[in-house]
């Protein structure tokens, strides 16, 4: 039974997605298996996109302060610095 996607790390999801792509490119799957693999692959891609978006927001929140220390600033829901 496959691991639930929402519990997967970015790296695990990407690795499984790569395996699915290789399997689909091989062309040896039965049609129903290929459709199921494609559906899981689409869900894995969406999960990876979300994880990357979260990481991007965290990186964008890191700023260098005037005293040369590194800190963070809060972001609003759109990912912009809060006013």
φ/ψ of residue 81, rounded to 5: -60, 135
Specify if 17 maps to a domain: yes
Specify if 82 maps to a domain: no
- Beta carbons of 10 and 48 less than 8 angstroms apart: yes
Number of domains into which the chain is organized: 1
**Model confidence pLDDT, tens digit, residues 4-19:** 999 999 999 999 999 9
Domain containing residue 21: CATH number: 1.10.287
pLDDT for 81 beyond 60:
no
Specify if 29 maps to a domain: yes
Indicate left, alpha or beta for 2 from its phi (over 0: left) and psi (-120 to 50: alpha). Answer: beta
pLDDT at 22 (0 to 100): 96
| Parent domain of 22 | 5-72
**Model confidence pLDDT, tens digit, residues 18-74:** 999 999 999 999 999 999 999 999 999 999 999 999 998 888 777 666 666 777 666
């Amino acid at each position: 039974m496959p691991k639930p996607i929402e519990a997967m790390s970015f790296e695990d999801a990407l690795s499984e997605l790569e395996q699915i792509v290789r399997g689909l490119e091989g062309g040896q799957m039965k049609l129903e298996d290929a459709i199921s693999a494609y559906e899981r692959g689409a869900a894995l891609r969406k999960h990876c996109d979300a994880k990357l978006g979260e990481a991007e927001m965290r990186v964008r929140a890191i700023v260098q302060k005037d005293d040369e220390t590194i800190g963070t600033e809060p972001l609003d829901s759109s990912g912009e610095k809060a006013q």
